[in-house]
Amino acid sequence: MEFFLDTANLEEIEKAKEMGLIDGVTTNPSLLAKEGGDWRSQAREICQMVNGPVSLEVVATEAEEMVREARDLVQFGPNAVIKIPMTLEGIKAVNRLSEMDIPTNVTLVFSVNQALLAAKAGANYVSPFVGRLDDIGTTGMDLVYQILEVYAQYDFATQVIVASIRHPEHVLQSAQMGAHVATVPFAVLDKLASHPLTDKGLEKFLQDWKKIA
Ligand code: G3P
C-alpha cells in the first residue's frame, strides 16, 4: 500500500520525506487555505519537493471551467494530479481530462455508485472519505471494502485512495482490504510508529546497557 501525506504543510512534508515513507501528497482547498500565503507558490513548491503524485484540487463547479483550471494546475509540476469533486459536472471534466491524458483524483466520494461513475469516466484515483462517514454514524471503511469489491469485478484501473483518515485503525483496515493508497495526516503517520511496549522495552535495554558501558 502506498502512503500519501494529506497536507499542504511544507514542514510536515519535509519530515515525512526524511522518514522515507511518503509516496505522494494530497491537498485540498481547506488544507491550502490553512497554510495561508500564496497558494500558487505553495502548490508549486509541494510538487517540487515530492517525488510522486501531488493532488491539487479545482474550485470551479462547471466542467469547462474545471478543465481550464486543471490545465493551469498541471503547469505546477509533471507530478500534479487534478482533484475533481464528485458531481455530474466533475464527471464530465474527468472524461475530458482523461482524453487529454491529465491524471485525476475524484474527491468527496461517499457511495459506491459515485466511485463507479468515477472509474467509468477514467479517473486515475478515487477518494472515499472514511472519517466524514464515521462522523455521521456510519462505518466509512465499509465503503472502501465495497468499492474495492466492485472495481475488482470489472478490472477498473482506478486506484482507491482512502481519505479523511483519522486514526491508525483506518490505516490498518486499508492495508487489510488491499486499498491502493492511504492518505494520512502527519499526526496519524506519527502514531503508526509508536507503541508503549516499544518505548518501555527500549528504556529497559538502555538502562541495562549502562551497567556494562
Ligand atoms: O484530502 C481530503 C481529506 O482527506 C479530508 O479529510 O479530515 O477533512 O475529513 P478530513
Residue nearest to atom 10 of ligand 1 (CA): 164
In this predicted structure, what is the pLDDT of residue 190?
A: 87
Task: Give tens-digit pLDDT for 4-61.
Answer: 999 999 999 999 999 999 999 999 999 999 999 999 999 999 999 999 999 999 999 9
Residue at 171: amino acid letter: V
What average pLDDT score do residues 113-123 get? 98
Question: Which residues, 6+ apart, have CB-to-CB distance to 151 below 8 Å?
Answer: 115, 119, 158, 160
In this predicted structure, what is the pLDDT of residue 158?
A: 98
Tell me, in angstroms, the distance from the centre of ligand 1 to residue 165's CA.
Answer: 7
Task: Give tens-digit pLDDT for 145-200.
Answer: 999 999 999 989 999 999 999 999 999 999 999 999 999 999 999 899 999 999 99
Model confidence at 109, pLDDT cuts 50, 70, 90, reads very high
- Secondary structure (3-state) at 125: strand
Tell me, in angstroms, the distance from the centre of ligand 1 to residue 6's CA.
Answer: 7
Task: Give tens-digit pLDDT for 125-139.
Answer: 999 999 999 999 999
Residue at 110: amino acid letter: F
Q: Containing H/E element for 81?
A: strand 80-85
The whole-chain average pLDDT of the chain stands at: 97
pTM, two decimal places: 0.96
Is 104:124 a contact under the CB 8 Å cutoff? yes
Binding pocket residue ranges, ligand 1, CB within 6 Å: 6, 26, 28, 129, 131-132, 163-164, 183
In this predicted structure, what is the pLDDT of residue 50?
A: 97
Q: Is 83 a catalytic residue?
A: yes
Domains of the chain: 2-212 (3.20.20.70)
Tell me, in angstroms, the distance from the centre of ligand 1 to residue 189's CA.
Answer: 14
Ligand 1 pocket mutation pick from 3, 54, 57, 132 by most atoms within 8 angstroms of CB: 132
In this predicted structure, what is the pLDDT of residue 175?
A: 98
In this predicted structure, what is the pLDDT of residue 68?
A: 98
Model confidence at 209, pLDDT cuts 50, 70, 90, reads very high
CA separation for the pair 124, 161 (Å, rounded): 10
Residue nearest to atom 5 of ligand 1 (CA): 164
Residue matched to cell numbers 529497559: 204
Q: Which atom of ligand 1 sits closest to the CA of residue 166? A: 7
Residue nearest to atom 3 of ligand 1 (CA): 164
